[in-house]
Amino acid sequence: MDQPARRPRCRAITRKGFRCPIGPRPSGLCHVHDPAVQCGAATRRGGRCGVATGGGPCRTHRHEHHPDQATLELG
């Protein structure tokens, strides 16, 4: 009684090079990889916070409200 092999999976590739095994959202990406449900806040290293929150900032960035820096653009 196995599940069908064609079960939909997230399109993202993990750091180890494997397909992400988590079931996808309508976007084709799982809740971990879909940017729509990630924090998305800019990090100090110039990256993007990828913490899966379900939408909105993560706990770390929720408290970082710096209106002065909001308009700063890198480059």
58 binds Zn ion (CB under 5 A): yes
Q: Sort 30 into a burial class: Cβ within 10 Å, 0-12 / 13-18 / 19+.
A: buried
25, 42, 51, 52: which one binds Zn ion (CB under 5 A): 51
- Considering beta carbons, is residue 1 or 46 the nearer one to Zn ion? 46
For Zn ion (CB under 5 A), the number of binding residues is 14
Q: Which of residues 6-45 bind Zn ion (CB under 5 A)?
A: 10, 12, 20, 22, 30, 32-33, 39, 41
How many whole angstroms from its chain centre is CA 8? Answer: 19
Q: Is the four-CA dihedral 62, 72, 51, 25 of positive or negative sign?
A: positive
